[in-house]
Structures are given as C-alpha cells and as structure tokens.
Structure 1
C-alpha cells in the first residue's frame, strides 16, 4: 500500500495533466486572435471589393447614375477621340463623326452605332451588351431614356472645353491619371511650340479665327475650337472687338458677323476655315475672298491670312494635338 503522501502527489499530478489536456483541446477548437483578425480583414476586403464595383456619378444632366468602377465594354457616342486618347477602345461609336478624326487603325474593331440625326441606333447598342454608355448632353431625351434601359448612361457636356471634358471622361472611364498625363503632355508641347514661334511673332501680336457654315454666314470663333490653340496654347492676343464679343459668353462657340464687319474683328493674323464638304459654306468663303473687304485686310496684304480646311474646325484632344504641329508650320513659312 502506497504511503498517503505519494497518493496525494499522484492525484495532484493527474489533476494537473487533465487540466492541461482540457486547455489544449479548448485552444485547438477556438481560432486565436490573429486568425480571427485575418478572417475579419478578409471579409472586409471582400465587401470593399464588392462595393467598389460600382459608384455614383453626377452627369451633365444633373442625374446621379450608378456606373461601373472599371468599365470593360463602353459605348462612346461622339467622344471616341477622348476615349482613344485615354487608352480606351470603345466597343462602339458613331462612325460618321469618328471617321473625321480617327485613323482607320484606330477605328478597327469599333462598331458603328450611327442612327438618325444625333441619336444612336438603340437596337444596335443593345446587341453589343455594353456595361457603360457615354453620350453628349444634347442627345434627345427619348433616346437618352431608351439607352438608360440598356446600360448605365452618362451625359457629358458638349460645350465644355477639351481639358474639362478629358477630366470628366477620365473620371467616368476610370482613367483619371491618364487624363492628367494627357493634359501635362499637351501643355509641355504647347510651351515647346511657343518657343519655336518666338522668332516669327512680335510681342502682343493679335490673331482671330473665322468660319463659314452652310447658311453662308461668317462666324468668328469664341474661346474654344481654333481659338484654344491660338490664344491658350500659342499665346496670341485677342483683338479688342473679339474679346468684347465673348466677354460675357465664355462658352459660346462662335458668333455671326457681317462680311463688312470683318475688319473690326480681324487680328494681325487671321485663319479662315472653309468646310470642304458643304457647297454653301465654300461659296460664302469664295465670295468673301473675292471682295475688297478681304483683299484690304492688313493680314491679307502682309501674307498672314491662312485659309484652311474642315479638319481645322474639329475640337477634340486628337485634333488639338495635331493643330499644335500644323498651325506653327503655316506661320513659320
């Protein structure tokens, strides 16, 4: 028979071992704090990804539209040049507009959704299963409503300057950094072109741009279109009359004037855009250029009047970049 002390010691040892075994079993069955934290983080990350898949965007019509955070199949009506400049190839666009700006290589693989007038073919858009549709804000409301039933549809302001439009498009397409990079490259190139032109342009030299449309009326450009390159990029000054005409209308694209009033708005250099594909516009320009009003302009007499084609009238990032090359070439001849 074992002594009492030994029995007590053995009993104590058994109790201690049992306690340890129970503690291990309990620990094995329950996740530790690190594991619980990791699982919680994983759940939160997964939830975050789910929430980030879409976001709200307030468009030019004041509508809050739920759009994909990273669209993969965007239909871009009228703004194909902006999308391409951001490194995004649209699923479709209206070719009648895009064909004037994009090259054949850039258009390859992009479907045509041209419909009637300014409105795209909704059935064609539907067949392409887009996850995002971008349209100009002048689109008819019935067309906008129909497109909104196909996919999230964002209206982008057509009267915004190209830089604001690029920022908006970059936001909508998830390409904000690319939009900033494009603007930085453009500004750097503009500075380079200004330096190249310094030997050819006097300080304070003025310039103005005009266009004839199908109504055979003469229009002076406002702050956008050709004027953006003249004033903002290359640093020309506006003639006083031109500055006054658009002082309270900063977003007005152009304003009609009479042929006889042209000398009041003509700068030291003038650009006249003729629409190659419109007979009335071409006839209006010919009548002006054959008149004493045109022949007596100082810019004409000094060889600083430039008659240019339709491509000069476009206003998009691709054209603006092209104009930075072409406009100085004319002036340095």
Structure 2
C-alpha cells in the first residue's frame, strides 16, 4: 500500500473516531438533559389535607411508617428511607427492609428528628393522613413535598393509593389478589377445623383489659372477624369499637373457646402486673379456653404493626397453626 493511501486511510479513521466521540458525547448530554428535566418535572395531586405538588419521578422516597415501605417494596418501588420505632417493629421487618436496600431511620414514638430527616434530602415524604397530627405534616412539608394518604396503614386502602401515586396499579392488584387467595384458603381451613367455635382477642394493658370489637371499622377487626371469618363470643358480637374495656367480673359470661392474648407493648409501657393479676384470677382459670390450653399469645409488634403482604401472611400462618390441628 502506498504512503499516500496509508495517509488517506489514517485521516478517514481519525475523522470517524472524532464523529463517533462527538455523537457519544451528544447522546450523553441529551440523556443527562432528559434526566434533569424528568427530575425537575412535577405534578399536582390531592391528599388528606388538600393539594400538593410532587416530583413526577422521585428518586429519594422517605416513608414515616415501615408498613408503607413494605407495600412499596412488594410493588417494586422500594423507598430509600423508612422511619421506624425499633421497639415497636415486627421481628421480620428490619432484616426485610435491609435486604431491599432501605435505610432505616430510628426514631422515638410520636416524635421526629426533623433536622435528621432534612439531612437526608428526600424528594418526597409519605405519611398516614389518619394518625399523625397536622402539625407533623406541616413540619415535614418544610423538608420535602409531603403526601398524607387518606388512610392509616390498612393494606387494602393504603396500597391502592400508593399504587396510584407511583403508577403501579397492576403490581398492587397482583399482590392484593395473592394475599386474598391465601386468606381465603386459611379461612376455609379454620372453618373446617373449629366450625362455629368462638374466638376472643384480648388485650392486657396496665390496670385494664380490653377486647377486640368484631364489628369495629378497623383493619385489625376486619382481619380476624371478616378476612379469616372467626366468630366472636356472643356477648361481644355487636361491638363496634376497636378495643373495648371490660371488667374481669364478666369473664364467666364471655364463653370463648379460643383466646388470642396480647400483653400490650409500647415504649415506656409495662403490662406485666395486669397479666399476672389476670392469670391468678379464679374466674380466668375457670374459663374453658384456659382449661383446654386454648390461650395463644399475640405479640403487639407482630400483629398490630405487622400490616402488609409479608406481615399479614405471617400472622395468618400463626393463627392457622394455633387453630388447625
């Protein structure tokens, strides 16, 4: 090959490389520009308190309830941060969150370290609309756009709202359908095993005792008495309050075949003395459920706080294990 041809070939090759690099650079600039536009793009939605402007494509999601983190993970949108009260978290959830790359932000009950949350620079914050006071919402809104869902942590209500927020309707419906199928199968097993025998959910607190109202407008009541179809003792069958105080004097009238017994736990809260008084009470000892060893412990964290596709499924497994031989 002549020197002239070699020179021409070299020039052509150099030109090709320059053009390729230029195209690559332009492509990267276009992608970077598109990402910047998407990141800055916003939309307006309505939440529990009114209208709020949020990012279209938030990258750093912070939730103030770990149940919301579980909902989002199961829909394929793991948040970056979840605020938790370690003493109240269900046993499985911290490892579960860490497995999915969620950073756990430890907090105390009913309090937030706003400076700490500000340092995380979240793009969006999600909280329950039912439960926290409005001033909490207002303080969080100073940190980042904050969405208060129109519910608490009820899975059948919160998941569809979150799905709409993040365009994950199909994923949400799939998760809920799978859970409903599991619950339906458990309900059938329980009915075949115990028929119309009665089940009481009893909460022990400092200096008082409460039972779960079977007709309360609450997801815990619905879980036990609708989702799983458990039958309440006759004396309480029409109760519409969530947890209703009662006197131990009426224990002989309750006539429960099975009792799920919760020694309630909270921060700075001790129900040990009340539980001891209950277990030493002669009326309690004479109940059929007690004499038949049909008393099953409920851990507050693992049923009140464990709402979600994972937590509620674990609770179903536990209840089936106790009621089905």
TM-score by length of 1: 0.72
Report what 1:66 is aligned to.
Answer: 53
**Which structure ranks higher in relative contact order (CA pairs < 8 Å, sequence separation ≥ 6)?**
2
Question: Larger Cα Rg: Structure 1 or Structure 2?
Answer: 1
Count of aligned pairs between the two proteins: 277
How far residue 330 of structure 1 moved from its aligned partner, in angstroms, is: 1.0
Are residues 1:239 and 2:233 paired? yes
Aligned with 1:149 (options 142, 154, 157): 142
Report what 2:203 is aligned to.
Answer: 211
How far residue 165 of structure 1 moved from its aligned partner, in angstroms, is: 1.8
Q: Distance in 2 between matches of 1:158 and 1:263?
A: 38
Q: In angstroms, what is the RMSD of aligned CA positions?
A: 2.9
Aligned with 1:323 (options 304, 312, 315): 315
Q: Distance in 1 between matches of 2:171 and 2:204?
A: 35
Superimposed CA distance per residue, residues 240-279 of structure 1 (whole angstroms, 9 cap, x where no aligned partner): 4323221xxxxx5322222223444453322111236777
Aligned positions of 1:197-276 closer than 5 A: 197-202=190-195, 204-213=196-205, 215-222=206-213, 223=216, 224=218, 226-246=220-240, 252-265=241-254, 267-275=256-264
Aligned with 2:81 (options 85, 89, 92): 92
Are residues 1:299 and 2:289 paired? yes
Matched-pair contact (CA < 8 Å) for 1:209–1:227: no
Report what 1:76 is aligned to.
Answer: 63
Q: Do the aligned partners of residues 275 and 299 (structure 1) sit closer, same or farther apart at CA in structure 2, a change above 3 Å counting?
A: same
SS of equivalent to 2:173 = helix
Matched-pair contact (CA < 8 Å) for 1:113–1:120: no
Aligned with 1:280 (options 256, 261, 270): 270
Q: Do the aligned partners of residues 65 and 123 (structure 1) sit closer, same or farther apart at CA in structure 2, a change above 3 Å counting?
A: same
Superimposed CA distance per residue, residues 1-47 of structure 1 (whole angstroms, 9 cap, x where no aligned partner): xxxxxxxxxxxxxxxxxxxxxxxxxxxxxxxxxxxxxxxxxxxxx9x
Report what 1:42 is aligned to.
Answer: none
Are residues 1:135 and 2:133 paired? no
How far residue 159 of structure 1 moved from its aligned partner, in angstroms, is: 4.5
Are residues 1:332 and 2:324 paired? yes
Superimposed CA distance per residue, residues 285-311 of structure 1 (whole angstroms, 9 cap, x where no aligned partner): 221122122112222233333233332
Matched-pair contact (CA < 8 Å) for 2:128–2:153: no
Matched-pair contact (CA < 8 Å) for 2:64–2:84: no
Matched-pair contact (CA < 8 Å) for 2:42–2:55: yes
Superimposed CA distance per residue, residues 182-208 of structure 1 (whole angstroms, 9 cap, x where no aligned partner): 211111001222333344212x33222
Are residues 1:180 and 2:197 paired? no
Q: Distance in 1 between matches of 2:117 and 2:42?
A: 21
Superimposed CA distance per residue, residues 299-329 of structure 1 (whole angstroms, 9 cap, x where no aligned partner): 2233333233332333511321111111110
Gaps of 5+ in 1: 1-45, 247-251
Q: Distance in 2 between matches of 1:302 and 1:239?
A: 17
Gaps of 5+ in 2: 1-33
Matched-pair contact (CA < 8 Å) for 2:84–2:107: no
How far residue 147 of structure 1 moved from its aligned partner, in angstroms, is: 1.6
Matched-pair contact (CA < 8 Å) for 1:71–1:173: no
Matched-pair contact (CA < 8 Å) for 1:119–1:139: no
Superimposed CA distance per residue, residues 56-112 of structure 1 (whole angstroms, 9 cap, x where no aligned partner): 322223x11122344332100013333333333222122325743514242354334
Matched-pair contact (CA < 8 Å) for 1:225–1:313: no
